[in-house]
Amino acid sequence: MKKKFIIPIIVFFITTLIINACNTDNYTQGKLLYDKYCVNCHNENGENLAELIPPLANSDYLVKYPEKVACLIYYGYDGKMTVNGVTYNHQMPANENFNDIDIANVINYINNNFGNNNGYTSLKTVQDALNSCEVGSSGKIEK
């Protein structure tokens, strides 16, 4: 009698796990990280915050300097930055609790949302970029 109830319950749980694992949104993890760590400054739509925080939406910086993005996310930034013709000079905090996979997920979410169509950034590309970051005396990227 117990088997009649246990088997459907097991099938239900396995089906639920498979459905959740087959999420069709390729950028779910990146969005979750963005929403937790980035949205306060870069807003839900990736737009700039007044003249303080540069936009991620339709950002020419992401296209011109894709090799610097991983370093900016991990180490933060301190200095002037020009994005879409506007110069910003506000410090970006580091995200040193992110691992390489987290950084790749955030980059891929940003690169394929907010009007950006910058394609896929591989984990190896992120790792190579992080190994070549030029960190200033502040512990942040300064150029």
Q: Please identify, in words, the CATH class of the domain defined by 26-131.
A: mainly alpha
Confidence of residue 3 (pLDDT cuts 50, 70, 90): low
Higher pLDDT, 15 or 9: 9
What is the distance, to the nearest Å, from the Cα of residue 97 to the centroid of all Cα atoms in its chain?
Answer: 13
Confidence of residue 132 (pLDDT cuts 50, 70, 90): very high
- How confident is the model over 18-50, as pLDDT tens digits? 655 555 566 889 999 999 999 999 999 999 888
- How confident is the model over 53-100, as pLDDT tens digits? 999 999 999 999 999 999 999 999 999 999 999 999 999 999 999 999
- pLDDT at residue number 136: 84
- pLDDT at residue number 40: 93
